[in-house]
Structure formats: C-alpha cells, structure tokens
Amino acid sequence: MLINRLTKFRGTLVLLILLSKTAHCQEKRDSTAVRLMFYNVENLFDTSDDSLKDDEEFLPSGLRRWNKTRYDKKISSIYKTITAAGEWSPPAIVAFCEVENRRVLEDLTTGTPLSKFQYGIIHEESPDERGIDVCLIYRKDIVNTITHKSWIPGSLGKEDFHTRSVLYVKGVIFGDTLHLIINHWPSRRGGVLTGETQRMEIARMVRSAADSINRVSGGTAGIVIMGDFNSNPGDPAIQTLVDPSGYTEGSGGGTYVNLSDKRKQTVPGTYRYMGVWEMIDQMIVSEGLIKGGTGLHTTPENFRIFAPDFLLRKDKKYPGQTTFSTYSGYRYQGGFSDHLPILLDLGFRKGITLH
C-alpha cells in the first residue's frame, strides 16, 4: 500500500514540476492564441465487448489482459499529457486517433479534471475492422463548431474500405473560420508498400477537398490537415498533399505547407521503430494561414513535437530514447503511448474578413 501511494505521489510530483517549468511560457503566449494538438493515443479501448468490432484483444479475458485498472490509468495518462501540453490551460482543440468510441472520450472529458473546461466531443464511427476512429474534443468557450463529416474515397467504395475514415470539422475561432481535416491512414505493417494504394487514394481525396475549400475562399481559407499518416514527409502520398502542381481541376487550388517537414526539434520524430525515429504524425496548413494578413495565422516556428521526459524512456534494444508506450509487444508497461503528440499555435489578427 505504501509503495502504491509513493508511486502515485511521484507521478503527481513529476507533472507539477513539469507544469511549473513551462508555466512561464503561458505568460508569454498571446491571449488571442489558440493551441491545437494531435495525439495518437495507442489503442484507447474500453473494457466492454462490442460485438460489431474486433476488440477481443482489449478485454479482461483478452491477450492483453485489458481491465478497469489499466483503462483508468490510461485515461489519467492522457489527461496529464493534455494538461502538460497546454501549460496550465488545456489546448482549444485536441484531435485523436486510435480511439474506440465516444464513451472513452466522455470518460476523458467528464471523469478527469478536464471536466471544468467543458470540452465538446466530435466523433464518427469509421469502418475500421478493429473499431478505432479519429475524433476530437474542443473547448466550447473558444471554438464554435459549424459542421462535421466523415469522408472515405469514392474511388474505393464502402464495401472495399475497411480502415479509418477522414474526419472533417468546420469551426469558428475568434470569428474566423477554421477547417480541420483529421487523418489516420492505413498502416505499413508488412512493409512500406503495404496499404500504399489506399494511402494514395485518401491523399487525393483530401487534396481535392482542401482545394475546393480554398477555391471557394479565393485562396484565403484557414485549413489544417493533421494526423497519423503512416508516411514520412517525403513519401509520395504526403507529396500529393503539398505538391504545388498537384491541383488539376482548374484554377484556384491551394498551396500547402508541411510544418512537420520544416521542424527543428529536440526529438527527430513522433514514432520510433527498430531504433529509427519517423515523422509520421504531421500538420500541414494552407498558405492562407501562413500569409494571411488578418484573422487566424501561424508560422512554422509555432509547430512542435511535444516530448517531455515523462513521455520517453530508454530504449532497451537500441541506443537512445523511445516513446514510453502502454505496451511493448504484448507486455504491459503502463506508459502513455507509442507516439508523441504534436502541437500548433494559431495567433489572431484583428480586422478579418469572414470566408
């Protein structure tokens, strides 16, 4: 009992020390700045069996022995990460992937101290066979959501699409419109080329949708394309999103900047596989957010990987550090996630023209 109490105390102390070290940054942040966060939370499943999903692995009787104690710890870990990333004031928008259902988001936003910030939830069930979805939570005091939709490529067809759909959310912040496109592209398990066809089809769909938004706005739209792309910035599917020549449906398409490709970070990636860091969690923004004279805006310097010490640990197989994940293979180690979160701050200039 004493050991358990000491462990909990040390965990709380680490969080408080981290927050105290970063609190001065909050004072320097513009009062009209908003923070966006994306986080692959590594299999955030509840402990109940869903007959429509392949979730048996994450049940008390499953291979991973997933139970209420482990689930509660996972929820608490995600809350701590969000709080630390916000530097006392949690981010205005937190997008996730690898979330099983709406219930786990409700447990996160109402069953932890995040409840005082009254986060709203946007969640759509995807056709992924394991039942993991992309979703987001948003602070109602900062963000007013207008609409959201779930997208899958029409070229693939519903009967052939068994991975995560793309989540589109249109919202208003400080009177300016922001378009969010949240992704979790098919895995590369089995090799880099595995799932490449689907990744390319999804990339083309996202690019076409972003260009349509840009065309309507006259090239001034604020668009953030973010997620776990299971591709590095130089890979063909990502280049489909940012290549200036990629727009082929007439004039008025957009120009996009991959902030993740322009980073100067202390950690070289968000995910480590066999000792090699990869930058597969990324944020890509429209040129309207970079060059916009009024309204919401950002710069490449406002993007960063969130990599505090408590999200990392010594790699037992390869030199250096790796992510402190919940599982190592099938062995439970009680960490946070096998991915690091990414953050982006948006500023605001007065005198906007709504689009």
- Give me the pLDDT at residue 30, please: 46
- Of residues 161 and 14, more confidently modeled: 161
**Residue 131 DSSP code:** -
CATH 3.60.10.10 corresponds to the domain 2-349? yes
The angle subtended at Cα 80 by Cα 339 and Cα 62, nearest 5°, is 60
- Give me the pLDDT at residue 355, please: 38
- Give me the pLDDT at residue 51, please: 84
- Give me the pLDDT at residue 54, please: 87
What are the residue boundaries of the structural domains of the chain, listed by start?
2-349
CA distance 45 to 327: 13
Q: In the chain, what percentage of residues exceed pLDDT 90? A: 72
- Work out the average pLDDT over 270-277: 96
- Of residues 333 and 162, more confidently modeled: 333
pLDDT over 70 (residue 44) = yes
Place of tokens 């944020």: 283
- Of residues 282 and 252, more confidently modeled: 282
pLDDT over 70 (residue 132) = yes
- Work out the average pLDDT over 196-217: 94
- Give me the pLDDT at residue 159, please: 77
pLDDT over 70 (residue 13) = no
Tens digits of residue pLDDT in 289-332: 998 667 999 999 999 999 999 999 999 999 999 999 999 999 99
Place of tokens 């419109």: 177
Distant-in-sequence, close-in-space partners of 112: CB < 8 Å, separation ≥ 6: 75, 76, 79
Read off the pTM.
0.88
Residue 144's pLDDT band (boundaries 50, 70, 90)? very high
Residue 247's pLDDT band (boundaries 50, 70, 90)? low
Q: Is 169 helix (H, G, I), strand (E, B) or coil?
A: strand
CA distance 7 to 37: 28
- Work out the average pLDDT over 225-250: 86
CA distance 344 to 224: 10
- Give me the pLDDT at residue 27, please: 38
- Give me the pLDDT at residue 354, please: 39
Could you tell me the two tokens for 214?
């840009």
Tens digits of residue pLDDT in 182-206: 999 998 765 555 588 899 999 999 9
